Amino acid sequence: MPYKLKNAVYSVRCRYPRCTFNSQFEIEQNIMGMTEQDVEIEAKRIARDMALTKHDAIHATRHTLRSPDIRKVSGSYELVGPVPRRGSGTTYGVAKQKDVYYKEYQRGEVILKKGDDATSVCEVVRGSAYPERNRSHRYRVGDSFGAAALLARHQRTCDVIAGSDGTKVAFYNLIELSKTNPKKAREMFSAVMEDTFKVIQNLEKSIDRTKKEIEREVVRG
Q: Which stretch binds Zn ion (CB under 5 A): 7-15, 72-80, 88-96, 120-128?
A: 7-15
Q: Are 128 and 138 in contact (CB under 8 A)?
A: yes
Question: Which amino acid is located at 17 in the chain?
Answer: P
- Choose between 12 and 148: whose C-beta lies nearer to Zn ion: 12
How far is it, in rounded angstroms, from Cα 5 to Cα 23?
20
Which member of 19, 50, 58, 125 binds Zn ion (CB under 5 A)?
19
Which member of 5, 8, 12, 14 binds Zn ion (CB under 5 A)?
14
- Rounded to the nearest whole angstrom, what is the least distance from the CB of residue 63 to Zn ion in the complex? 6
Q: Is 16 in the site for Zn ion (CB under 5 A)?
A: yes
Q: Is 58 in the site for Zn ion (CB under 5 A)?
A: no
Angstrom distances, CA of residue 28 to CA of 6, 7, 25, 95? 9, 7, 9, 14
- Choose between 14 and 199: whose C-beta lies nearer to Zn ion: 14
Question: Which amino acid is located at 190 in the chain?
Answer: S
How far is it, in rounded angstroms, from Cα 90 to Cα 28?
19
- Choose between 10 and 189: whose C-beta lies nearer to Zn ion: 10
